[in-house]
A and B are shown apart, each in its own frame.
Chain A
Amino acid sequence: MDILKKISVSIQHGDDQSVFTLTKRAIEMNIPPKDILDHGLIDGMNIIGDKFKHHEIFLPDVLLAARAMYAGMDQLKPLLVKDGIPSMGKVVIGPVRGDLHDIGKNLVGIMLKGAGFDVIDLGKDVPPEKFVNTATIEGAKIIGMSALLTTTMPVMKEVITILRNQNLTDKIKTIIGGAPLSKEYARQIGADVYAYDAANAVESVKQLIQK
């Protein structure tokens, strides 16, 4: 089995130690970092994502795989930067002002990281300006917001208004999630997408980044 395949399989087994050693070896073998990323790490995570969707495996398996992924990613990151390969993208996430429900957002964060994104987690109860300022300063292309309360939902619209006022809606896309929301609500407030769970959030962010 070639080494990239082995990395992918180790990711699927959630074996972070193997992923660490194998990635190290692959780097020593002068395999381009981008190939290690795409055909090793990401390949493994994609298979995991698919299996999760079809209930062949459960969330803990996905999180273990994500942890294994970081074991490789941490070594690759500086090399990718050196090669001028842009990262998958930065995503700023958090529950909006007044909302302390962070369980779902945390899951989304872990899964996004697992898919190779840089996640800037703003905690909870995040004021609208903070989303926009952080995204601008960090060069993030995506803002992910959640609201679990009917009372906090409208804060998302404030974030979008700020983005509009600063003419940032082309550069920074928005994705929203949380129990009271829907596709329809995203359309209403002018958010780019709504995602119903963490796996769906990863897919949607991927699509948004490609746009």
Chain B
Amino acid sequence: MRPKIQFLENTLIERIIAEAKEILSTLGVEINNPAILSLLSDHSAKVDIEKERVFLHSNLVDKALSTTPQSFRLYDTLGNETNNFSKNNVHFTPGSAAINILDSNTKKIRKPTTEDYINYVKVVSQLPHLASQSTAFIPADVYEKISDSYRLFLSLLYGEKPIVTGAFTAESFHVMKNLQLAVRGSKEALREKPLTIFSCCPTAPLKWSYATSQNLIDCAKYSIPVEFISMPLSGFVAPVTLTGTLIQHTAETLSGIVIGQLTNPGTPILYGGSPAIFDVRYETTPMGAIETMMIDCAYNEIGKYLDLPTQAYISLSDSKQLDAQAGLESGIGATLAALAGINNISGPGMLDFESCQSLEKLVLDNEICGMVSRLIEGINPKEDFPAISLFTELLDEKHLLIADHTRRYLRDEHFFPGPVIDRANRSRWIEEGEKTLFDRAQGEVEKLIKSYQPSQLSDEIKNELIQLMEREAQRFGQEKLPKR
């Protein structure tokens, strides 16, 4: 049996959805994008052009839901399937778009460089429990206008795993799309085998900015999967109650689904988000708060009720260091998310309210993801009944270490974390240098950077990627890309 966690009864889910639809039709959403306003108007939505507000009646929402795929898959740069977002399948991906990196040596934050990013790709490529890369942080040694596309470029050049990403402006989408076309070869091939997921964020409360809504329709036109990242902040720009926050999240996400599906029916999406409670003491948006995690798991249930694959920013921490708080918040988050069956879990590596990535934390979180993946496999009887013969063997031999039964099931039944997780006895731990968690993680990071094997993408495609990126950089007056 797969263990599960559940927060909402179906009757409550139905009330939340009904209320969200009511909000969409009576209060409407603001959309700062004339093209979308006219698209919606063409589909008989009431539009107040002056206020840029559109009122979505529930038929329109239902129509959009009826064309939204119930699942989709991702493929790596070489075309192999890596992610199947369906049912209760769970995949992990690093937290995305950090501003800083936690320096391995000084343990202080600093702005990341191209070299850091490449090291990150080398590490994430070899972490078995992270199915995809994300464009985890922003190299600061390129012109800011290209910093969003540049990270995608580096990920495609050095890594093979598919990429969870997003554009920071409406214009950046184009080069980010062209980079993907270069890898796949054609628009059709890209549609056939999606390579990235783009995050598109409504603005709380009930609004779409030009840039993010433009990203959404551009993705839809190319059938590039979109994850909706609605961010109601409970008690601040959303109701303080978790249920109220869920109503808002539902309304914002449904509005995104309508825009995407009317632009191109069948566009793959993840019913996602990054809501948080607002901490009224510190003026912050804690991702490690238990209520934040409850909201995540609960909207995921709403997504599942609508038969849609889901995503959340969970399994990350607000701590500033790789310390016990970082471990507990990430661990609780990953556990809840997996039990809830969130299909794409974004968070590993992240600290400090989504603003700092740490390679050491990434390596630790990979183990959390491994443990949690084992957890949700649950307890399933193998050759355990009848038990008499196995126990006879145990009583005769005094142990089962080399029993057939053990050898058959050992690796499935027990998960073996890497050396970051300390399971040595004390004397051995002392003998081996009394290493702290950070020391061990640092060692792993170094080891992985050394053992990295270049991506097997053809040189021809790699050169095309380089040319595309160089041209984009030159467009903004940066003659050369940083040395790699």
Cβ of B283 within 8 Å of any chain A Cβ, yes or no, is yes
Within 8 A of A (CB), among B335-360: 353, 355
Instruction: Contact check, B147 vs A150: say whether CB atoms are below 8 A apart.
Output: yes
Within 8 A of A (CB), among B151-174: 168-169
- Chain B residues lying within 8 Å of A100, measured Cβ to Cβ, are 203, 209, 211
Task: Among A58, A103, A154, A197, point to the contact of B144 (Cβ < 8 A).
Answer: A154
Task: Among A55, A180, A197, point to the contact of B283 (Cβ < 8 A).
Answer: A197
| CB of B214, distance to nearest CB on chain A (Å) | 13
Cβ of A190 within 8 Å of any chain B Cβ, yes or no, is no
Instruction: Contact check, A59 vs B283: say whether CB atoms are below 8 A apart.
Output: yes
Instruction: Contact check, B282 vs A151: say whether CB atoms are below 8 A apart.
Output: no
Instruction: Contact check, A151 vs B145: say whether CB atoms are below 8 A apart.
Output: yes
Taking Cβ atoms with an 8 Å cutoff, the residues of A that contact B are: 55, 58-60, 98, 100, 103-104, 107, 149-154, 179-180, 197-198
Q: How many angstroms from the CA of A101 to the CA of B7 in the assembled complex?
A: 31
Known interface pairs A103-B236, A103-B237, A180-B99; A150-B144 also in contact (CB < 8 Å): yes
Task: Among B140, B168, B233, B236, point to the contact of A149 (Cβ < 8 A).
Answer: B168
Known interface pairs A100-B203, A104-B283; A151-B355 also in contact (CB < 8 Å): no
Beyond the given A150-B147, A151-B169, could you list 5 further A-B residue pairs with CB under 8 A, ordered by the A residue number? Answer: A58-B280, A150-B99, A150-B138, A151-B148, A153-B144
- Looking at chain A's contact residues, the main secondary structure is loop
| CB of A156, distance to nearest CB on chain B (Å) | 12
A197 closest partner in B (C-beta)? B283
A152 closest partner in B (C-beta)? B144
| CB of A67, distance to nearest CB on chain B (Å) | 16
- Chain B residues lying within 8 Å of A151, measured Cβ to Cβ, are 144-145, 147-148, 168-169
Instruction: Contact check, A59 vs B355: say whether CB atoms are below 8 A apart.
Output: no
- Chain A residues lying within 8 Å of B111, measured Cβ to Cβ, are 150
Instruction: Contact check, B145 vs A198: say whether CB atoms are below 8 A apart.
Output: no
| CB of A25, distance to nearest CB on chain B (Å) | 33
- Chain B residues lying within 8 Å of A55, measured Cβ to Cβ, are 281
| CB of A151, distance to nearest CB on chain B (Å) | 4
B212 closest partner in A (C-beta)? A100
- Chain B residues lying within 8 Å of A59, measured Cβ to Cβ, are 280-281, 283
- Chain B residues lying within 8 Å of A104, measured Cβ to Cβ, are 283
Q: How many angstroms from the CA of A150 to the CA of B25 in the assembled complex?
A: 36
Q: How many angstroms from the CA of A64 to the CA of B203 in the assembled complex?
A: 25
- Closest 8 pairs (CB-CB, A-B): A59-B280, A58-B280, A180-B99, A151-B144, A150-B138, A151-B168, A100-B209, A197-B283
B354 closest partner in A (C-beta)? A179
| CB of B415, distance to nearest CB on chain A (Å) | 36
| CB of B477, distance to nearest CB on chain A (Å) | 13
B99 closest partner in A (C-beta)? A180
- Chain B residues lying within 8 Å of A98, measured Cβ to Cβ, are 169
Instruction: Contact check, B169 vs A179: say whether CB atoms are below 8 A apart.
Output: no
| CB of A211, distance to nearest CB on chain B (Å) | 26
